[in-house]
């Protein structure tokens, strides 16, 4: 994961991750939470 985040930072590309790991999600700039196929939360971090 560190390599993916480093490459994303170098290139400015979008990195799309699907996870159940809250610690990994906390490293992301935007987190969208879903439940039963519906978006229940959409938060962006600076």
pLDDT for 46? 64
Any domain includes 20 = yes
Domain annotation covers residue 11? no
The overall average pLDDT reported for the chain is: 94
Structural domain contains residue 7? no
- The answer as to whether 22 is a domain residue is yes
Looking at the domain assignment, is residue 38 inside a domain?
yes
In a domain, 46, yes or no: yes
Residue 36 lies in a domain: yes
With 0.85 as the threshold, say if the pTM is over it: no
Structural domain span for residue 31: 16-46
Question: What value, to the nearest 5°, has the Cα angle with vertex 35 and ends 29 and 41?
Answer: 35
In a domain, 32, yes or no: yes
pLDDT of 3 higher than 80: yes
Q: Determine the average pLDDT of the residues in 8-27.
A: 96
How far apart, in Å, are the Cα atoms of 12 and each of 8, 9, 39? 5, 5, 26
């Amino acid at each position: 994961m560190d390599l993916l985040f480093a490459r994303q930072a170098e290139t400015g590309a979008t990195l799309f991750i699907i996870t159940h790991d809250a610690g990994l999600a906390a490293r992301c700039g935007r987190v969208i939470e879903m439940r039963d196929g519906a978006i229940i939360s959409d938060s962006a971090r600076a």
